[in-house]
Structure 1
């Protein structure tokens, strides 16, 4: 199992809070953020990367400043966040490598994509504390994973060579011909398979979907060993996510990398509205998540 180097561990410490737990605000979305900003397809098409960058800047300024780290994309958000002084000096910065959306293979499998030109060296040049790569995985369908695992291995090797922290995220998905109920029943095993595949590629920090049950969370912790894992929100409502965080932390998670569950109903094309709702609604949600994390980190640190 791969272990963090001293430099990588320093980066990991910086994306964690004073309690040693990850509390990262994710706003690297592009397509889904446009959908949240407007339900009208024509208006969505008029939302430029600069406008998305303004929204990400507001999330960083009013919400991520209360957390330990922000995760953004290199298309809309950086270097602006750094060059314009929008990110606080004590807020760590993760930069996503994955492009928005996916391609589809002839068999119907999702093929992950990268933002062109974004390497470990470029992440460092953009001021990043580290990078984040997301790939789609179906551990029960080996043929679905070849392209995506190749991307994952290449990115991990690139960041290893630069001695820079890389957070590995994977998502599962429903394939053609699979019912919603059949897919839902497979989720815990698919997530465990995804963890195993990611670890085999050399992942040192994981960002994963909620495994589904307390037992599945415990199984992930056992499988991951010394590799820390954070649970992502996947856009569920705040109360649902809060319960998932509680179960994940109780069963060995090392923190949270959360996006839409915090801010999806707080962003607006009217930036005054965004500011008001981030400061009142989103920050309150963040404080509730931090309270759960603190409770379990305190127990763990005292043990």
Structure 2
């Protein structure tokens, strides 16, 4: 792995130094979210249209936005949908269904050329890593190191997103323990930013979420932020606050911002009202938590 100093992360941050980043890189999972509200087939164009609209409407209030190459990155760039001052992040992961899961295996997406992504305006790349207790660490570590080298070769910030999953063999496993084990295994591999699951999906006792967040801070050798998948939408602000009280620096999240808009009579209006309100409030919360450290 390339031995290099971390990048300047200010292109992903608010003025406070915290992160209030938007994710619209969900793929088949997003298709399923739309399908739950209609009897009609959900097309690739439907997904692209939503992603472009969400990017255009929400990025004035986000410090960065994460977009997937498969459905929307090129369209978002061509539409000029990213607001000035909002950093553009390209996904760099290829998803495959496996183990009874919609996203069961992940590899580095060879179709994403880091140099081309940078020429299109990207400042960072993101890689999802699935952590399973019954799979060996070596391939995960090698994939992260290779991803970091690919990003750095193009002058891009590297963001790693480990997610704890059940065992591939279907035997019982403690996926909550896996959140910390993933951080211990991968947290020192030289990437620039770590995207973590909220401990207990934000649904445990506050003190326990804080305790587990402090353990993540100790294990991760970079700044880290939380994702919102699995966290009830209205619980996410508390989850951000609790994790930031023990060392997290903000969030990179999608569902907590825009999921309630899907299935509404006027999706763009819901983005302009409900989603903007949620994102602005989360950004202010991040600023308040950063100020409390001063």
TM-score of the pair, normalised by structure 1 = 0.84
Matched with 1:246 is 241
Matched with 1:32 is 29
Does residue 257 (structure 1) correspond to residue 252 (structure 2)? The answer is yes
Q: Which has the larger displacement, 227-236 or 117-126?
A: 117-126
Does residue 135 (structure 1) correspond to residue 123 (structure 2)? The answer is no
More helix by share: 1
Matched with 1:275 is 268
Matched with 1:111 is 105
The answer on whether the counterparts of 2:108 and 2:147 sit within 8 Å (CA) in structure 1 is: no
2:195 aligned counterpart, secondary structure: strand
2:198 aligned counterpart, secondary structure: coil
CA distance in 2, matches of 1:288, 1:66: 10
2:234 aligned counterpart, secondary structure: helix
> Using a 3 Å threshold, how does the CA distance of structure 1 residues 58 and 249 change in structure 2: closer, same or farther?
same
2:268 aligned counterpart, secondary structure: helix
CA distance in 2, matches of 1:235, 1:224: 21
1:48-127 pair list within 5 angstroms: 48=44, 50-104=45-99, 110-127=104-121
The answer on whether the counterparts of 1:168 and 1:207 sit within 8 Å (CA) in structure 2 is: yes
1:217 aligned counterpart, secondary structure: helix
Matched with 1:223 is 219
CA distance in 1, matches of 2:257, 2:12: 18
Shift of 1:206: 0.3
CA distance in 1, matches of 2:86, 2:134: 39
Structure 2, unaligned runs of 5 or more:
201-208
Shift of 1:214: 0.9
Shift of 1:17: 0.8
CA distance in 1, matches of 2:270, 2:4: 38
The answer on whether the counterparts of 1:73 and 1:95 sit within 8 Å (CA) in structure 2 is: yes
> Using a 3 Å threshold, how does the CA distance of structure 1 residues 116 and 291 change in structure 2: closer, same or farther?
same
For the aligned residue pairs, the C-alpha RMSD in angstroms reads: 2.6
CA distance in 1, matches of 2:181, 2:230: 22
2:121 aligned counterpart, secondary structure: coil
Matched with 1:288 is 281
Number of aligned pairs? 283
CA distance in 2, matches of 1:20, 1:274: 31
Structure 1, unaligned runs of 5 or more:
none
Shift of 1:31: 0.6
More strand by share: 2
Give deviations 1:161-188, integer Å, cap 9, x for gaps: 3332011101111224444xx53xx51x
